[in-house]
Chain A
Amino acid sequence: METAIRPDEAQIWDWLSQVPDPEIPVISLTDLGIIRDVEWQDDTLVVTVTPTYSGCPATTIINLDIESALRDHGIDKLRLDRRLSPPWTTDWLTKEGRQKLADYGIAAPIDGTAADGRLVGRIARLAGTSNLVITCPRCGSNATQKISQFGSTPCKASYRCTDCLEPFDYFKCI
């Protein structure tokens, strides 16, 4: 019986932590929290991935990147599964990922502020009574304003700093 050397799962996670997100290349797929599971099923490696957004155009590129990275490390039998539930949330971004985002100029999401559609929250935000403060990743000022709820990729919103006057991206919280 042929016993190929099978890299253990910790090794696979390590390899995946070196695959950059195609849209925000400073963070890796594991920083983003979209790799949900890595498991050997007999001689096939099954990687379970969850999409950030239903229509995120990077999804197919991400799958392709995972596949080619693992093939480069000698894994031939590979399957990618999609898992929708539980749905991805910005709360899954790792600490390292948040730091890398800030260094890159993207304000990291604030946990527990995901849009829940409740009218109370919306009205509070509209009335300016929400105490949510987004800090400028460039100068550290808290004097920032939302320009638009949507930004340059499906996962980001647009903000500006009224101190250093620079625009910046903020991770949309879902």
Chain B
Amino acid sequence: MPSLPDMTTPNLAALAGDATAQGGHPAVPAPDAGQPEFTEWLQRVGDNCLILGHRLSEWCGHGPALEEDIAIANQSLDLIGQCQLWLGLAAEVEGRGRSADDLAYLRDVLAFRNVVLVERPNGDFGQTLMRQFLFDAFHLELLRGLESSTDARVADIASKAVKEVAYHLERSADLVIRLGDGTADSHARMQKALDLLFPYTGEMFADDATDRAMANAGIAPLPSTLKPAWDAVVAEVLTAASLTHPGEVWQHGTTGTGGGKRGIHSEHLGYLLAEMQFLQRAYPGATW
């Protein structure tokens, strides 16, 4: 399926031509040479934060208890803050004159690079928490690996975000244990959430050409290398939560060319973007 024409990326050749014709210099940043994979990868990291941050924000005012409502909104804020840093760097590396806001609000669904897990609808509170735990455990391992990135900008962002995400994992693991090992109803809901979401976790650890290019450059760890640590944390928490590990199940987005990392999303992302991007679509360039 062809994507819609790109209306938002500046036409650099035309801008440069205009500027030259007027005798001025084109105010266009130079792209970091030969790093399309780097831009692509930064969007994956940033989009995971953005989409999960937006999903969590949907709970604002609807949490099961005031404290949970506040906690979820705070986590959303952390993730959206991290997304600004990642997408800001993505825009800088891309060098096409776009900003983090342009990437967040003006790309269409096929240009998003988040894993499908984070765009899953919130479901009940158990599903939201289970999604958060499964992602937090991956996110923490990823950020720990990125702290020693060969790119200082990546290492700096990771060293900031890793502390926030350690805190997130502490909370989500705590609640998965308390609800999994809670009442019959809460246990059943957590098990159902786990069985529903587990098939979406494999994509986080599936390596592709972009991942290999990043690993070869020393910018990021290969996703598959994060799996053993994630497996250990998940197994330990699920055991403490008296939940049954789903075991080896079929995983979405790990074969062929599918998966959110390559822009093949579930139907849910489009609805999310329709809400998240509404204002910039209706009133292009609006600021306040």
> Which residues of A line the B interface, CB within 8 A?
51, 53-57, 84-89, 114-117, 119, 122-123, 125-126, 147-152, 154, 158, 172, 174
Given the contacts A148-B67, A150-B74, A115 and B81 also touching, CB distance less than 8 Å: no
Q: How far is the CA of A123 from the CA of B176 in the complex (A)?
A: 12
Q: Is the CB of A84 within 8 A of B169?
A: no
- Contact check, B70 vs A151: say whether CB atoms are below 8 A apart: yes
Q: Are A148 and B71 in contact (CB under 8 A)?
A: yes
| Closest beta carbon of chain A to B59's beta carbon, Å | 13
CA distance in complex: A154, B74 (Å): 6
Which of B74, B159, B164 has the most chain A CB within a 10 Å cutoff? Answer: B74
Is A84's CB under 8 angstroms from B156's CB?
A: yes
Please, which residues of chain B bring their CB within 8 A of the CB of A117? 140, 162, 165-167, 169-170
Do the beta carbons of B240 and A123 come within 8 Å of each other? yes
Q: Which of B79, B80, B157, B167 makes the CB contact (< 8 A) with A84?
A: B157
Any A CB within 8 A of the CB of B25: no
Q: A87-B163, A116-B166 are in contact. Are A55 and B80 (CB under 8 A)?
A: yes
CB-nearest residue of chain A to B67: A148
In this complex, how many residues of chain B approach chain A with their Cβ under 8 Å: the count is 37
Q: List 19 A-B contacts (CB under 8 A).
A: A55-B80, A56-B81, A57-B77, A85-B155, A87-B160, A117-B140, A117-B167, A117-B170, A119-B233, A122-B169, A125-B170, A126-B240, A148-B70, A150-B67, A150-B70, A150-B71, A154-B78, A174-B164, A174-B167
Give B153-190 interface residues, CB cut-off 8 Å to A: 155-157, 159-167, 169-171, 173-174, 177
Q: A117-B140, A117-B166, A152-B70 are in contact. Are A55 and B77 (CB under 8 A)?
A: yes
State how many angstroms separate the Cβ of B16 from the closest Cβ of chain A.
Answer: 29
Known pairs A117-B170, A119-B236; A53 contacts B67 (CB<8 A): no
User: Would you call B164 and A126 a contact (CB within 8 A)?
Assistant: no
A75–B81 alpha-carbon span in the complex (Å):
30
